[in-house]
Amino acid sequence: MKNSNHKTLRLVLGDQLNIHHSWFKEVNDAVTYVLMELRSETDYAQHHIQKILGFFAAMQNFARELSELKHQVIYIKLNDKNNTHRFDTNCSALIEKYRFTRFEYQLPDEYRVDEHLKSFTQGLDIPFSSFDTEHFYSKRQELQEFFTGKKTFLMESFYRYMRKKNKVLMANDTQPLNGKWNFDEENRKKLPKDHKPIPPLVFNNDVSEIATELKKINIKTIGRVDAKQFIWPVNRNQSLLLLKHFVKHCLPLFGTFQDAMAPNEWSVYHSRLSFSLNTKLLSPKEVVEMAIAEHTKRPNEIDFNQLEGFVRQIIGWREYMRGIYWLKMPAYASLNFFEHRNSLPEWYWTGKTKMNCLKQAIDQSLHYAYAHHIQRLMITGNFAVLAGIHPDEVDAWYLGIYIDALEWVEITNTRGMSQYADGGIVGSKPYVSSATYIDKMSHYCGSCFYSKTKKTGDKACPFNSLYWNFYALHEKKLFSNPRIGMMYTVWNKMKPETKAELLSQADYYLKHMNTL
């Protein structure tokens, strides 16, 4: 590498693999791109082995693609002898070695990395610039601006604003297509017993070389993997194949069964595009546009509720959660509305529990580094909030175990939507349930050790007593919530001895959580 030809160093993070970014439109020999595999990124949480392999494989493929396009690229591997395992010190060493005269980076999506790079650039003695990632529909602070002066941050309001602003599924400038903004009530069906979803599209990527490198320095991971047949997309072409497969084969029933759960059905009709989206191998705009185009092409096969439910996840929830993150961090990461203090049961890391719903959801997560949103919200998340688990522990688990988990999207969903630890910033009520809901939406309960119908006594489903115990414990904080007042009406009509039995059962389960 000739020092005189390389003046600008551009840092590309592992979740910034957007080949359509304006940075890459022109080849300039005076610009060098650097990607890094770092211990600071593998070690800030205990990650699923598939998550680390997926990110590093995607990064290596992206660096290769840039090189093939004739861009100047430096790639620092995990075990390179000069790797300091920090963004700042690695960049400093490169700037000194190659006498770069300018440093540039794209704005990180994680607060932690954002602060790190701010600190680094403030100490630089060469000019620097930061750039937008050109990925999201909204800017970092757009949600904050939209809700200026408002006390509540209703996702539905932001979703409608995003639809209007971006002219997505609109009949005109102000009215939604088909007369309604939200078709969620049509998207809550259980899988029929004899219904077999289409087999998920998986890939056979050989990432064994990366797995060997991870073993060499003993990075602690969770979960399982076949490194010679890695199933997740690790480049843009595979991501596009997964997107095309989804809109063609899964979108026609996506909405109907998006909340459904069944043993051995880990994918159902979900897109599983979140890893590709969160690494920016795909853009949300192209995902939404391809789904809309498929519906336009096959309106008789893809009902509008299927399409709207999917679009809402991308342009609504995803953008909304990011906006809340940048509005509320760093304080958001320490919110604990219920003052929960309990530790996560050991079986969250092994799946060895007699509760079939949790066994299925956790086993699946360990095996695939994936669970869909209702498994995360109403199985693992539901139990955690009912059991009074400290939000820090819940966050660490979700951040580590899922291949698509980056803090900007994980923490708002976990600490907010799932655990209600933010006191209602994201969700209008705690998302908790007894066995009734789980049985309504899944086929887990029928083969469970516990009885879904029993609230107390031998083999009573833990969700039943923990549910009422949760409401009893937090009555002062929740009683005035208009969305759950009915639950307190039911609770207060119960006989004292019935209440006592439920609370006693819950207390026993809480004291013996690791044996459930």
Per-residue pLDDT of 412-440, as tens digits, reads 999 999 999 999 999 999 999 999 999 99
Q: Which of 58, 78, 68 is nearest to 12 (CA)?
A: 58
DSSP 140-190: TTHHHHHTTT-S---HHHHHHHHHHHHT-SBSSSSSBGGG-S--GGGS-PP
Q: Which of 32-41, 77-86, 181-190 has the lowest mean pLDDT?
A: 181-190
371 closest CA partner among 404, 420, 413: 404
- What angle separates helix 49-68 from helix 208-216, to the nearest 10 degrees? 120
Residue 104's DSSP bridge partners are: 10, 129
3-state secondary structure of 233: coil
User: Which residues are 72's β-sheet partners?
Assistant: 32
Q: What is the pLDDT of residues 236-293, one digit of tens each?
A: 999 999 999 999 999 999 989 998 999 989 999 999 999 999 999 999 999 999 999 9
Residue 4 has pLDDT above 90, yes or no: no
C-alpha neighbours within 13 Å on the C-beta side of residue 315: 28
Please give the pLDDT value at position 486: 87
3-state secondary structure of 73: strand
pLDDT at 1 over 60: no
Q: Are 24 and 69 in contact (CB under 8 A)?
A: yes
Q: What is the pLDDT of residue 5?
A: 58
> What is the CATH class of 142-328?
mainly alpha
| Helix (H), strand (E) at residue 171 | none
Averaged pLDDT, 56-74: 97
In the chain, the amino acid numbered 317 is W
- 10-18: average pLDDT: 98
What CATH code would you report for 346-515? 1.10.579.10
pLDDT of residue 3: 45
Distance between CA atoms of 251 and 257, rounded to whole angstroms? 10
Task: Judge whether residue 18 has pLDDT over 50.
Answer: yes
- Could you identify the residue written with the tokens 């007369």? 179
User: Whole-prediction pTM value?
Assistant: 0.94
Side-chain half-sphere of 274: how many Cα atoms within 13 Å?
A: 22
- Residue spans of the domains in the chain: they are 3-131, 142-328, 346-515
As a whole number, the mean pLDDT across the chain is 95
* 2 pLDDT above the threshold of 60: no
CA 147 to mean position of chain CA atoms: 24
What size, in residues, is the chain?
516
| Environment class of 26 (CB within 10 Å of its CB; exposed 0-12, middle 13-18, buried 19+) | exposed
Q: Which residues contact 66 (CB under 8 A, 6 or more apart)?
A: 19, 24, 33, 73
The stretch 55-62 carries a mean pLDDT of 98
- Reported confidence tier of residue 194, pLDDT bands at 50, 70, 90: confident
Q: What is the pLDDT of residues 437-449, one digit of tens each?
A: 999 999 999 999 9
The structure tokens listed for 138 are 């909204």
74-78, 186-190, 229-233, 468-472: lowest mean pLDDT where?
186-190
Using one digit for the tens of pLDDT, what is the confidence trace for 297-329?
A: 999 999 999 999 999 999 999 999 999 999 999
Assigned CATH for 3-131: 3.40.50.620
Asked if 403 and 370 count as a contact pair (C-beta separation under 8 A), the reply is yes
DSSP state of 412: I
Nearest of 416, 418, 513, 421 to residue 466 by alpha carbon: 513
